[in-house]
Amino acid sequence: MTVFVCGSCPEGTGFVEMLCRGLPEEEVKQIDCMSGCTRPQTVAFRVTGKVAYLFGDITSDDLGDLQRFAALYAASSDGTFADARVLGGLRMKAIARIPG
């Protein structure tokens, strides 16, 4: 799984480092811009063949929800969930669900 983090958002490098420590099993990549400027900090989760997710308004307080999401997403065969409540606080921070 690759976790993309917007490098243009205000949190910047420190946020990427926090995610690398908090999601050690995942490949965390900083990219230039994810066009989520109205809802910084943006983070996306992607696995080939699965639905991808883009979240915004992410802070360090969301790390627990991001960790739970990563585990659920990895365990899902196609990246979808029958009930969005499993996303915890990320449910209200979802910007997009992109077909795989």
Cα distance between residue 79 and residue 50, in whole Å: 5
Residue 60 belongs to what domain range?
A: 2-98
3-state secondary structure of 73: helix
Residue 52, domain CATH: 3.40.30
pLDDT (tens digit per residue) in 11-32: 767 889 999 999 999 999 999 8
- 96: closest CA among 45, 61, 27? 45
Could you give the C-alpha distances from 39 to 78, 80, 93, in angstroms and in order?
26, 23, 9
Q: What is the pTM of this model?
A: 0.93
pLDDT (tens digit per residue) in 33-80: 899 889 999 999 999 999 999 999 999 999 999 999 999 999 999 999
Domain count, the chain: 1
Output the pLDDT for position 86: 86
